[in-house]
Amino acid sequence: MKTIHKICLALALILPACSGGQPQHPAETPALKDVYKDAFKMGAAVSSFDLSGRNPELVDLILKHFNTLTPGNELKPESLHPRPDVWNWERADRYVDFAVEHDMFVMGHTLCWHNQTPEFFWNDKDGKPKSHDELVETLRSYIETVCTHFKGRVDAWDVINEIVSEEGGYRDKGWVHAFGGEEYGDEIVKTVFRFAEQYAPDTELYYNEFNVWRPSKLEGVLHLVKMLQEEGIRIDGVGIQAHWGLNYPKNHYVEEAIEKIAALGVKVMITELDIDVLPLSKEGQIIGQAMRDPQFQLEEFEEFFDPYKDGLPEEVEKELADRYEELFQIFYDHRDVIDRVTFWGPHDGSSWKNGSPIPGRTNYPLLFNRDLTPHEAFWRVAAIPGK
């Protein structure tokens, strides 16, 4: 065999992405959780619908590649406790029991958040704002009820989600707004983590946040962790939500965030990973609902905003693969401090990115296509630990 052929064959074996002929059937892929078993847990946020068995191949894919699950919506306050006199456990129990039965690390997402939380958490039955003490009691009894219910089945809680502002203070929304504004942020964080420590003693306790890479926001997250540590309140880790794009955030920001959080001695997790390939959010996170305005559904915007309805062009497939490869290289290089990487969804068809920030588009943010075949990005990610 000519030397050049030998080199090509060797490359094709170690770097499936370069072979151009990698298997397309989902059953022929290596299991991500095995490929990364010495690095970190590999997870996905999946829904009850995904686990329902209506698509048995999807359940196989989830069980094959992931050893930790995050319920997309099932354990959020509006799902568990939609009205003052109603608690819904059935769907959440089925979900959590499925994960326990399959020996997966189960994430409780999330106890305290400004979103997907009914108004009655903050206002009394006459619609009047609750007093300070009533708010503290609402938090206490909710955390007690939920953590006690899932005791021994949920392994870790996202205790608070997204309370830090882009500037590094606190967002004046939800609980912060109900308590009276930003100056109550520190108190709320301490109160909530104290209750979590009290009622969920055998679980890990995390803070979860988006745009943590932004230096001003990172300062706010570091402040939150240090404050809890100085008060002797337990926090075990920080989840860096990774709703990112093809060219943002810049890699050095991601590395700085991982390293500065790890320097505080807590675990780092990459949570909610997806890479938006569509305008405008392939280049930056759009916060808020502005792009839901019906004008953006008009015919004249369609070609620009929703360009890949009939399939992902090869050059974008490659850009997606390059982006995933560089990010997983960073994660793998930091495997001594990263405990878990979780994708926000198992495949493109189930991603929230088809509906946000603009509804009704066709996005390709994950490692698996709608028909569960792997993207080129899958092979690049799978090749990193063996390099």
230 is catalytic: no
Reduced 3-state DSSP string for 35-50: HCCCCCEEEEEECHHH
Under rule CB under 6 A, residue 272 binds ligand GLA: yes
CB of 209 to ligand GLA, least distance (A): 9
CB of 272 to ligand GLA, least distance (A): 5
CB of 107 to ligand GLA, least distance (A): 10
Residue selected from 29, 67, 117, 241 as contacting ligand GLA according to rule CB under 6 A: 241
Residue corresponding to tokens 């405008």: 280
Residue 205 β-bridge partners = 157
Map residues 322-341 to x or -, x wherever contact with ligand GLA holds by CB under 6 A. Answer: --------------------
Distance CA 369, CA 111 (A): 32
Per the residue annotation, which of 74, 162, 204, 319 is the catalytic one?
162
Contacts of 71 (CB under 8 A, 6+ apart): 45, 46, 47, 48, 92, 95, 96, 107, 108, 109
Under rule CB under 6 A, residue 253 binds ligand GLA: no
Map residues 198-237 to x or -, x wherever contact with ligand GLA holds by CB under 6 A. Answer: ------------x---------------------------
CB of 72 to ligand GLA, least distance (A): 7
Sign of the torsion formed by the C-alpha atoms of 158, 85, 188 and 235: negative
Alpha helices in the chain (DSSP H): 3-14, 16-19, 32-35, 48-51, 56-65, 77-80, 90-101, 132-149, 174-179, 185-199, 215-230, 251-262, 299-305, 314-333, 376-383
Per the residue annotation, which of 204, 209, 272, 319 is the catalytic one?
272
Smaller CB separation from ligand GLA, 109 or 260: 109
134 is catalytic: no
Identify which of 29, 31, 12, 15 has the alpha carbon closest to the alpha carbon of residue 374: 29
Smaller CB separation from ligand GLA, 163 or 382: 163
Chain residue whose CB lies nearest ligand GLA: 352
Contacts to ligand GLA from residues 104-123, by CB under 6 A? 109
Contacts of 263 (CB under 8 A, 6+ apart): none
Q: Return the H-helix or E-strand segment holding 242.
A: strand 237-245
Contact 334, 268 (CB under 8 A): yes
CB of 385 to ligand GLA, least distance (A): 27
Smaller CB separation from ligand GLA, 272 or 325: 272
Under rule CB under 6 A, residue 352 binds ligand GLA: yes
**Residues known to be catalytic:** 162, 272
User: Which residues would be at the binding site for ligand GLA (CB under 6 A)?
Assistant: 109, 161, 210, 241, 272, 352
